[in-house]
Amino acid sequence: MYQLRELERGDLDKIKSWRNDAYLIACLGAPYRYVNEDVEHAWYDNYLHARNNSVRCAIVDVNGEKETLLGLISLLNINYINRSGELHIMIGNTENRGKGIGTFAVQSMVSHAFMNMNLRRIELSVLESNAVAIHLYEKCGFVREGLKRKSNYKNNAYVNMIIMGLLKEEWIDPHMQESNLPDNL
């Protein structure tokens, strides 16, 4: 069973290995950098000090007493005046991709943002070449809003980033069954 839980210091070794995976980072908008233990701990400490405008969750598979870390999903740059935030996700190991983990995580974080945090807009940027991620985001209700041309430097070239957004009034809660809807809808 997949779950989200707040990121913990004990997750850092696994996350560091993912952030040092050049293939994984090539799929994301972030640049590839070597990350050591000190950098990873400073990143985590920075998160702890910025919890008022960010949510970082581990995506885990819980099987009885055993928990396996599968990925990381974050809602960053939360602006409580505009009621908006920026979504980021990373599924760590290749063998865990294509299993619905990303869909679960995005839907869960969106639900948390809209239902518990009272946000009204979530946005993200994704590499134009990352068709799998774009499909995931569209399946979760995000729409393409724009293109940042040649905005990120990846693998010796400048690449385009697609800007996507989801408004609360456009969102359909996947956990809401038709049978639970009031008769007057």
**H helices of the chain, where?**
12-19, 22-26, 37-49, 101-111, 131-139
**Residue 48 placed within a domain:** yes
**Residue 105 placed within a domain:** yes
Amino acid letter, residue 103: T
**Residue 185 placed within a domain:** no
Q: How confident is the model at residue 90 (pLDDT cuts 50, 70, 90)?
A: very high
- Global pTM reads 0.90
- Letter string b/e over residues 155-182, b meaning 16 or more CB atoms within 10 A of that residue's CB: eeeebebbbbbbbeeebeeeeeeeeeee
**Residue 65 placed within a domain:** yes
Lowest mean pLDDT among 56-65, 136-145, 156-165, 173-182: 173-182
**Residue 156 placed within a domain:** yes
Instruction: Give the position of tokens 């008769």.
Output: 183
The answer to whether 77 and 54 have CB atoms below 8 angstroms apart is yes
Q: Tell me how many domains the chain contains.
A: 1
With a cut of 90, say whether residue 124 has pLDDT above it: yes
Q: Residue 62 maps to which CATH number?
A: 3.40.630.30
**Nearest CA among 101, 32, 38, 114 for reference residue 70:** 101
Domain carrying residue 123: 2-180
**Residue 40 placed within a domain:** yes
**Residue 165 placed within a domain:** yes
